[in-house]
């Protein structure tokens, strides 16, 4: 997946939010980590992959992809904060590594914690790869993800316009 355009879009959104909310001199890293964890939980809830006690089906694909890109926004934002937006342009995943959804969610949670503790480039790339593998397991193509990201980025700017 080509991340250059997405990093650029995310950087503009982050700068706007930081300026409009007076956060330019604050480290937002831990808040972004928590936001990502929450978004990942919301995504898991929409897939219902772990709800063995329920017969209710997963939400429709549009809802799930929107939740997925909410998490992607924070992954990109964390990469920008760590300075990797200029170093990482493209990520490819080995799709044969796809497992069940529950395992992918746990792997992403683990990747988030590893990156929180050690902001290394290796841990960041691993987190992105784990997240893209989750997307692949959800049957999303890169084009689906990019379009949904761009659509949600527009919504996020509109929300800022409205004082969200």
Predicted TM-score (pTM) of the model is 0.94
Q: What is the CATH number of the domain that holds 35?
A: 1.10.4010.10
Q: Residue 97 has what pLDDT?
A: 72
Question: What pLDDT shows up at residue 89?
Answer: 82
Question: What does the pLDDT look like over 106-136, one tens digit per residue?
Answer: 999 999 999 999 999 999 999 999 999 999 9
* Structural domains of the chain, count: 1
Q: What is the mean pLDDT of residues 141-160?
A: 93
Whether 98 has a pLDDT exceeding 80, the answer reads: no
**149 closest CA partner among 76, 83, 72:** 72
Q: Tell me the C-alpha distance between 9 and 80, whole Å.
A: 11
Please choose, from the candidates 138, 7, 119, the residue with its C-alpha nearest in 3D space to the C-alpha of residue 62: 138
pLDDT category of residue 52 using cuts at 50, 70 and 90 = very high
Q: Looking at the DSSP assignment, which residues form a beta bridge with residue 2?
A: 90
Query: Would you say residue 64 has pLDDT above 80?
Result: yes
Coil, strand or helix at 2? strand
The boundaries of the domain holding residue 79 are 4-161
- Torsion (CA) 83, 152, 95, 43 in degrees, nearest 10: 100
On whether the CB atoms of residues 49 and 101 are closer than 8 A, the answer is: yes
Residues 6+ apart with CB under 8 A from 83: none
């Amino acid at each position: 997946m080509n991340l250059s355009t997405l990093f650029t879009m995310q950087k503009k959104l982050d700068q706007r939010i930081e300026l409009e909310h007076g956060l330019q001199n604050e480290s937002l890293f831990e808040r972004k980590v928590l936001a990502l964890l929450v978004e990942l939980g919301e995504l898991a809830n929409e897939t219902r992959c772990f709800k063995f006690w329920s017969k209710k089906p997963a939400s429709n694909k549009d809802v799930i992809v929107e939740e997925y890109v909410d998490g992607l926004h924070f992954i990109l934002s964390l990469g920008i904060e760590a300075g990797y937006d200029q170093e990482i342009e493209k990520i490819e995943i080995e799709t044969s590594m796809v497992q069940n959804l529950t395992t992918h969610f746990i792997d992403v949670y683990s990747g988030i914690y590893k990156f929180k503790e050690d902001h290394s480039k290796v841990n960041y790339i691993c987190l992105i790869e784990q997240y893209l593998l989750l997307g692949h397991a959800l049957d999303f193509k890169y084009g689906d993800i990019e379009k949904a990201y761009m659509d949600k980025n527009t919504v996020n700017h509109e929300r800022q316009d409205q004082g969200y």
